[in-house]
């Protein structure tokens, strides 16, 4: 990332001002996606302030649920210490796929061909005279 992009853009990672503002704050951890989490200072309610620095584009759906709960003070300690380990049947978090080739397109959607399955015999159209 070039120095000018770091100074002036906010949508693709932290700006220079954000990085400068995090000096003196404690780095609390990193998630599987490479996002960094920081804590320091107090908010207006007396709780510690918490930040996420995204690796890549700034998209809030890229914060895993366990770190979301830490950021929003639902748990006090970092997820590695406060939460039990993931169970084998739990799936990893997936970011919002809207607008990508992997987005869900139901049958009948224009992007999925526009053809939907014909209604079965259990459907009867509404008629105003009925």
Q: Report domain extents, the chain.
A: 3-94
- The per-residue pLDDT for 7 is 58
7 SS3 class = helix
- The per-residue pLDDT for 123 is 74
pLDDT category at 75 given cuts 50, 70, 90 is: very high
pLDDT over 70 (residue 31): yes
Q: Are 35 and 67 in contact (CB under 8 A)?
A: yes
Distance of alpha carbon 98 from alpha carbon 105, whole angstroms: 10
- The per-residue pLDDT for 4 is 63
- The per-residue pLDDT for 19 is 72
């Amino acid at each position: 990332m070039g120095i000018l992009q770091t100074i002036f853009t906010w949508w693709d990672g932290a700006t220079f001002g954000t990085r400068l503002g995090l000096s003196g704050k404690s780095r609390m951890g990193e998630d599987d996606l490479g996002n960094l989490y920081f804590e320091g200072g107090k908010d207006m309610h007396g709780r510690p302030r918490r930040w996420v620095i995204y690796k890549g584009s700034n998209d809030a759906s890229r914060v895993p649920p366990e770190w979301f709960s830490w950021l929003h003070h639902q748990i006090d300690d970092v997820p590695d210490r406060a939460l039990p380990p993931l169970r084998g049947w739990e799936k990893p978090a997936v970011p919002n796929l809207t607008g990508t080739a992997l987005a869900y397109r139901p049958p009948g959607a224009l992007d999925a061909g526009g053809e939907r399955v014909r209604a079965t015999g259990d459907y009867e159209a509404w008629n105003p005279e009925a």
